[in-house]
Amino acid sequence: MSGASLLADVKGRIAEAARAAGRAPGDITLVAVSKTNGADKVQELIDAGQRVFGENRVQEAQEKFPALKARHPDLELHLIGPLQTNKARDAVALFDVIQSVDRDKLAASLAKEMEKAGRQLACFIQVNTGEEPQKAGVLPADLDAFVATCRDTYKLKVVGLMCIPPVDEEPALHFALLAKMAARNGLPQVSMGMSADYETAVRLGATHVRVGSALFGARPPLHA
Ligand SMILES: *Cc1c(COP(=O)(O)O)cnc(C)c1O
């Protein structure tokens, strides 16, 4: 299938899941996760009307997106992967939204670099809903305090929460938990759901779904 028809299929499924949940399809943003795919594949989706993309590594995004953004100034690029503080400046220069804010030191670096660059990027706090030791994200018990610190101490523009549920668990439980934590903190946006479960995420309140392989085809296992 072409990029355009895969895109139409995913958008149709999002709209259907939204309507089934009594939500407006326009309230859900599809973030096309282009990691490991070349600029040519990204361009195909841009030509089909897609404008919001996600990358999980700063360096890979730097190789692809400056030229694409120069051609299409209305592109919106989301960082969805772990960010090291020494890459904060590069991330602030290239990305429009940071979905992976997950620790104090990173929040401080981002705030400093945004101030220097005169750019206020929207931020999501990543939550480790499964409390997995190897996974990034704030633990649920620490979330409310961390949101307050990001807002009050660092003046970050916190718009929502993001999670990546454990692979071997029912994602719906994690999605429901994330939506509840966002509501509790007065955060309007919730980024959850990937290729395998984005329709479930939409039913449970996702405002952003991050879809890669369903749009671009399967990635080589190394990058899964
Ligand atoms: C790769 C990735 C996705 C997309 O995964 P698919 O299963 O290919 O849709 C979503 N979110 C994050 C954080 C990712 O790293």
Is any atom of ligand 1 closer than 6 Å to the C-beta of 81?
Answer: yes
Is any atom of ligand 1 closer than 6 Å to the C-beta of 164?
Answer: yes
CB 191 within 8 A of CB 160: yes
Reported in sequence order, the residue ranges of the chain that DSSP labels E, i.e. its strands, are 29-33, 52-55, 76-79, 97-101, 122-127, 157-163, 189-191, 208-211
Distance CA 62, CA 51 (A): 17
Q: What is the pTM of this model?
A: 0.97
Pocket test for ligand 1, best of 175, 210, 211, 216 (most atoms within 8 A of CB): 210
Distance CA 101, CA 123 (A): 7
**Block residue for tokens 């028809």:** 5
Mean pLDDT over each residue of the chain, to the nearest integer: 96
Q: Residue 219: its pLDDT value, please?
A: 76
Is any atom of ligand 1 closer than 6 Å to the C-beta of 211?
Answer: yes
What residue owns the CA closest to ligand 1's atom 11? 210
Is any atom of ligand 1 closer than 6 Å to the C-beta of 185?
Answer: no
Is any atom of ligand 1 closer than 6 Å to the C-beta of 149?
Answer: no
pLDDT tens string 61-110: 999 999 999 999 999 999 999 999 999 999 999 999 999 999 999 999 99
- How many angstroms is it from 95 CA to the middle of ligand 1? 17
Distance CA 85, CA 88 (A): 5
> In a 10 Å sphere around its CB, with 0-12 CB exposed, 13-18 middle and 19+ buried, how is residue 195 labelled?
middle
> Which residues make Cβ contacts (< 8 Å) with residue 216, sequence separation at least 6?
3, 6, 32, 33, 34, 37, 41
Q: How confident is the model at residue 221 (pLDDT cuts 50, 70, 90)?
A: low
Quote the Cα angle for 15-19-25, to 5°. 40
Q: How confident is the model at residue 1 (pLDDT cuts 50, 70, 90)?
A: confident
Task: Report the greatest alpha carbon distance in the chain.
Answer: 48
CB 182 within 8 A of CB 161: yes
Q: Residue 33: its pLDDT value, please?
A: 98
Q: Residue 222: its pLDDT value, please?
A: 59
Q: Residue 218: its pLDDT value, please?
A: 81
Is any atom of ligand 1 closer than 6 Å to the C-beta of 56?
Answer: yes
Quick one: tokens of 110?
Answer: 């981002």
Q: Please count the residues of the chain.
A: 224
pLDDT tens string 16-55: 999 999 999 999 999 999 999 999 999 999 999 999 999 9
> In a 10 Å sphere around its CB, with 0-12 CB exposed, 13-18 middle and 19+ buried, how is residue 125 labelled?
buried
In angstroms, how far is CA 170 from the centroid of its own chain?
Answer: 20
